[in-house]
Structure 1
Amino acid sequence: MFHQLEVNVVLNRNSNGPFDGTSHSESGKRGSSPTTLGQFVRLGQLLSFALASGIVTTSAVFLFLVSQREPDAEQPGWIFLAIGGGVFVASLVVSFLLRLMLKSNAASSLRQTQEAEEVCRGGAAASQSARDAWENWDAEEPLPRPLIGFLSATQTSRIVAQAVLEGAAMINLVFTMLDGNLIHFAFAAFCLVGVIAMTPTTGKVRSEIRSALTVGGVSGEDRF
């Protein structure tokens, strides 16, 4: 009797289709992984705020410490400033390339899914209508599984790129304690701007979906 009951429960769970709204909604409430566009945006904004806050807080602390230091005639020359500037430039390049590469891979993976192929298949009018449905998906409605995977991948690319910039900012802030040069704070400020610029919004995420569903991959309009 108990075995039969267990079988019935399993069958009832499997009766929901892979894109059933109730199933996705319940799983989103039970699990920690986002399943709606709005959840992805809010999580990305929270992570971006955390990274930006780390840079701002650390900058404030180091600025206070530097201001309390007595002038030292034997401070190191421009070597730390050169290293800090090099790290800053390298972080910009690495951050940009990593973000672009990971987004491109995510877009390619999305277009290779059966569901995405069906969306883009057919005449131009039919394909455009299907793409519009995915691009303008309600922010609080459970997303199709391919879009969940795509947005998870783009979320990862964003966090990696932001982490690279945060690391460059922290290195420059440490250098301020070594040479007392305030130019390092300018490098950290530019890194902060880069982190903030990559903060996701609903419009940016929709643009990423639009670019991914366009033949040729990620377009140049929303690389950051």
Structure 2
Amino acid sequence: MTARSWLAARLAPGGAFGLWITVSFLMIAAAGWGLGELADSVRENDDLAAGDAAATAWVVAHRTGWLTTALRVVTDLGGIWMALLLIAVATFGMPLPGPRWRTAGLMVLVTGGTSTLVNGVKLLIARPRPTLPDMIAGASGFSFPSGHSAQAAAAYASLAYLACRRWPVPAVRVSAWLGAGLVVLLVGFSRLYLGVHWLTDVLGGYLLAAAWTTTVWTAFRLATAQRQGFGRGRAASRPAPEG
């Protein structure tokens, strides 16, 4: 295979190893690189991290009573109990073909893996949370990256992905991804607004979730494509029935 034909296959819309796998690998690489750069910025307190205090001060100065009440509710959409509820919704409302345990297992892998990675990076970076007077919600542990932001990004993106597979029509696809994106942005903003995370914590959570979630679903699609190809290969190898 020439380099030209190999590149053409990587950019072709169809096929198990076409455009979608190329885009997926690029997303994983970009999110991983962005997370690493952001972590370095947080450790050195330079570049984007240097503006965290100013971003928090601006948000604190613009707090209002009704918005505070609303965002206290919104922030729970990225909590562990909501993640468990979304696993149930995915398993029973939009399962993948085959046994339901496969959908549940993949959702647990996405959300559980996200939580494990978040806690690992928190211990590695050991960044303190914003100063106590700015915090108007309970929070403990280290700050970078934001667990609620990461969990929301992983869970709602997975739900949108499953919805698109279940109902593959343009209206559902657009609605699912727009809805998931809106919830993820609101959860991230709520963490900044409530003073429990810095802006770069939220961005770090998004990047971590993007890298891990894309890895899980890409691996699933590759495994499914290979299994289907193996099944077709075995069927083609069987001799045709006489008559």
Bigger Rg over Cα: 1
TM-score (norm 2): 0.34
TM-score (norm 1): 0.36
